[in-house]
Amino acid sequence: MSKLTIVANIHVNPDKIELVKAELEKLILATRAEEGCIQYDLHQDNENHAYFLFYENWESRELWQAHMNATHLLNYRKATEGAIVEFTINEMSHIG
């Protein structure tokens, strides 16, 4: 097993910023308590408040995939349905 870094980019509808931000904040404590979670940090762009980024480190890809099916993440998806403009995930490997 090798460590996995995830960069999740979340662009939201401008009229849904506060809703999505509140729902993203709910994910932090639950995710940090998950098996394999090393780091799970939420960021919001200083100029474009409709852009959020999660920077995550996981013990393995398998444990991150288990996170992607966690109940709290499924609840987030349901609560923010229609509020997300674009969502991209980059799976990264540390090289130096």
How is the chain split into domains, by residue range?
4-92
Q: State mean pLDDT over 67-80.
A: 96
With cut-offs at 50, 70 and 90, classify the pLDDT of residue 45.
very high
With cut-offs at 50, 70 and 90, classify the pLDDT of residue 9.
very high
- Say what the pTM is: 0.93
C-alpha to C-alpha distances, 56 to 14, 15, 31, 60, 66, nearest whole angstrom: 25, 27, 10, 11, 14
With cut-offs at 50, 70 and 90, classify the pLDDT of residue 95.
confident
- Residue 57 to residue 59: CA distance in whole angstroms: 7
CATH topology classification for 4-92: Alpha-Beta Plaits (3.30.70)
What is the rounded radius of gyration, in angstroms, for the C-alpha atoms of the chain? 13
Residue 50's φ and ψ, nearest 5 degrees, are: -90, 10
23-34 pLDDT, tens per residue? 999 999 999 999
| DSSP 3-state of 91 | strand
